[in-house]
């Protein structure tokens, strides 16, 4: 399980807090201020030489995009140059402040940039305005230089912290997934061991006893011999199926499980006639009306159809009496499977000799057949309907041919 988009979004900054956005915004403000300042010499009638401080500041801004230290030094010295020659350094102050924010936001340490920009703005204010060193205007210029550098450094530190927090979250999710997968693998191996030690052993012993019984039957017991032969065939089928399940349970990867599926083809819709014939060999009267398998039948639906029919026929042998009716129909891309049979009416004596109880009154032995059929149908996107009447039992499975979900 990986981090969901919602979990990751919690660690992404809003667009107006994104360092990249703030950096571009600082550059945009710088360019707008520079464009505004370019019109001043034209209005005042100043010579083109008046553009020199602004040109130097813009050059420093451009250089700072690739060489931060070189660019910030150029931008920082420009206010001092402007004040020294008697030009108003206000616009160069602004460019220095925004550039200080930009370079500290991207890479440079705030303390050193602040120590470079703050004093430069301070002395430029003192020189141009002819004010004292303790003037509020000069101190304000000094503070603005430091605050811009500190703000950029703070945003960068916060962004680094957020990225580290996001990485820790991803690492924690990965560790959680690893632990969960380990537990699933451990549980799968435990089930595989139990399946091998208990079911595999007992079924193998059952097959041996059936073989002994078949060999020792009298020569005139043809019906019993055929029944035992069918039972042995079923036991061998169970062993092969158990082997396939064990391989899947012991495989660590999906690819390994898929490669192991070749141990025995997964049963599908085409195997239903053989399944019916196997039931008939045991003496069950199965009356089947099977539709031809659709050409575009989804593999999962095909397997689910086989398993549902298999379980339904097994239930009819255990709990039913009389003929079993099986039908499959395909209409409007929907496969419908119906299996029905009369219910066994069992009687049992109770306290009064004159009173009996029917099978409906007796506590039946509950299994997981119906649950398994419902799960099979649901896993393939279909649904299963059970009609349990007093004397009749019927299951109807509805599956979409393409594997879609039944609404």
Query: Distance between CA atoms of 390 and 246, rounded to whole angstroms?
Result: 40
Q: What is the mean pLDDT of residues 306-321?
A: 84
Strand partners, 394: 340, 387
DSSP designation for 200? I
Residue 347 pLDDT greater than 50, yes or no: no
Query: Distance between CA atoms of 139 and 34, rounded to whole angstroms?
Result: 24
Fold of 284-400: Heat Shock Protein 90 (3.30.565)
Q: What is the mean pLDDT of residues 171-176?
A: 89
Ranked by mean pLDDT, the top range of 117-121, 167-171, 327-331, 357-361 is 327-331
Least confident of 17-21, 104-108, 156-160: 17-21
The whole-number pLDDT of residue 54 equals: 77
The whole-number pLDDT of residue 262 equals: 46
Are the C-beta atoms of 308 and 373 separated by less than 8 Å?
Answer: yes
Residue 127 pLDDT greater than 90, yes or no: no
Angle CA(147)–CA(151)–CA(157) in degrees, nearest 5? 145
Largest Cα separation within the chain, whole Å, is 131
Angle CA(92)–CA(97)–CA(100) in degrees, nearest 5? 120
Query: Distance between CA atoms of 257 and 260, rounded to whole angstroms?
Result: 5
Least confident of 21-30, 31-40, 186-195, 285-294: 31-40
DSSP string, 256-274: HHHHHGGGSPPP-GGGHHH
The whole-number pLDDT of residue 39 equals: 62
The contacts found for 366-372 with CB under 8 angstroms, 24 or more apart, are 369/311, 369/314, 369/315, 370/315, 370/395, 372/307, 372/311
The whole-number pLDDT of residue 182 equals: 84
The whole-number pLDDT of residue 128 equals: 80
Q: Which residue, among 141, 132, 124, has the nearest Cα to 80 in the 3D structure? A: 124
Average pLDDT score, the chain = 79
Residue 27 pLDDT greater than 80, yes or no: no
Residue 360 pLDDT greater than 50, yes or no: no
Of the pLDDT bands very low, low, confident and very high (cuts 50, 70, 90), residue 9 is: low
Query: Distance between CA atoms of 103 and 156, rounded to whole angstroms?
Result: 10
Of the pLDDT bands very low, low, confident and very high (cuts 50, 70, 90), residue 36 is: low
Residue 53 pLDDT greater than 50, yes or no: yes
The whole-number pLDDT of residue 350 equals: 39
Least confident of 97-101, 188-192, 327-331: 188-192
Of the pLDDT bands very low, low, confident and very high (cuts 50, 70, 90), residue 384 is: very high
Of the pLDDT bands very low, low, confident and very high (cuts 50, 70, 90), residue 255 is: very low
336 three-class SS: strand
Least confident of 97-106, 206-215, 256-265, 290-299: 256-265
Residue for token pair 């007992």: 202
Residue 217 pLDDT greater than 60, yes or no: yes
Ranked by mean pLDDT, the top range of 139-148, 318-327, 378-387 is 378-387
The whole-number pLDDT of residue 394 equals: 92
Are the C-beta atoms of 305 and 337 separated by less than 8 Å?
Answer: yes
Query: Distance between CA atoms of 170 and 7, rounded to whole angstroms?
Result: 9
Ranked by mean pLDDT, the top range of 24-28, 42-46, 100-104, 239-243 is 100-104
Residue 159 pLDDT greater than 80, yes or no: yes
Q: What are phi and psi of 317, to 5 degrees?
A: -70, -35
Which of the two residues, 216 and 363, has the higher pLDDT score?
Answer: 216
Residue 310 pLDDT greater than 80, yes or no: yes
**Domain regions of the chain by residue span:** 1-265, 284-400
Of the pLDDT bands very low, low, confident and very high (cuts 50, 70, 90), residue 290 is: very high
Query: Distance between CA atoms of 357 and 347, rounded to whole angstroms?
Result: 5
Ranked by mean pLDDT, the top range of 17-26, 37-46, 287-296 is 287-296
pLDDT tens per residue, range 184-215 = 888 888 887 777 777 776 777 787 888 888 88
What whole-number percentage of the chain has pLDDT above 70? 80
């Amino acid at each position: 399980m990986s981090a969901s988009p919602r979990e990751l979004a919690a660690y992404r900054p809003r667009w107006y807090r994104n360092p990249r956005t703030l950096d571009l915004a600082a550059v945009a403000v710088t360019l707008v201020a520079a464009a505004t300042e370019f019109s001043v010499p034209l209005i005042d009638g100043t010579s083109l030489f008046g553009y020199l401080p602004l040109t130097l500041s813009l050059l420093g801004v451009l250089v700072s995009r690739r060489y931060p230290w070189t660019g910030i030094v150029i931008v920082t010295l420009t206010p001092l140059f402007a004040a020294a020659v008697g030009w108003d350094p206000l616009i160069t102050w602004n460019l220095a402040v925004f550039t200080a924010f930009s370079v500290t936001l991207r890479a440079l340490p705030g303390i050193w940039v602040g120590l470079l920009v703050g004093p430069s703005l301070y002395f430029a204010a003192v020189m141009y305005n002819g004010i004292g060193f303790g003037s509020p205007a000069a101190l304000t210029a000094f503070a603005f230089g430091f605050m811009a550098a500190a703000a950029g450094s703070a945003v960068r530190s916060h962004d680094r912290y957020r990225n580290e927090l996001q990485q820790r979250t991803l690492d924690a999710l990965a560790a959680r997934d690893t632990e969960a997968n380990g537990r699933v693998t451990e549980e799968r191996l435990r089930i595989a061991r139990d399946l091998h030690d208990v079911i595999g052993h007992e079924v193998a012993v059952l097959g041996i006893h059936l073989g002994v019984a078949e060999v020792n039957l009298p020569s005139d017991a043809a019906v019993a011999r055929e029944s035992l032969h069918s039972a042995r065939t079923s036991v061998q089928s169970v062993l092969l199926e158990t082997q396939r399940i064990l391989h899947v349970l012991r495989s660590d990867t999906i690819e390994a499980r898929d490669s192991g599926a070749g141990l025995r083809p997964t049963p599908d819709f085409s195997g239903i006639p053989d399944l019916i014939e196997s039931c008939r060999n045991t003496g069950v009267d199965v009356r089947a009306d099977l539709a031809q398998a659709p050409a575009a039948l989804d593999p999962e639906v095909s397997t689910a159809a086989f398993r549902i029919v298999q379980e339904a026929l097994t239930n009819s042998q255990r709990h039913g009496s009389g003929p079993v009716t099986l039908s499959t129909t395909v209409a409007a891309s929907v496969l419908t499977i119906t299996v029905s049979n009369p219910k066994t009416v069992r009687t049992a004596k109770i306290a009064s000799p004159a009173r009996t109880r029917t099978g409906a009154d007796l506590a039946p032995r509950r299994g997981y057949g119906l649950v398994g059929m419902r799960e099979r149908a649901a896993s393939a996107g279909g649904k299963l309907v059970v009609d349990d009447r007093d004397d009749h039992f019927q299951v109807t499975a509805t599956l979409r041919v393409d594997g879609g979900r039944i609404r």
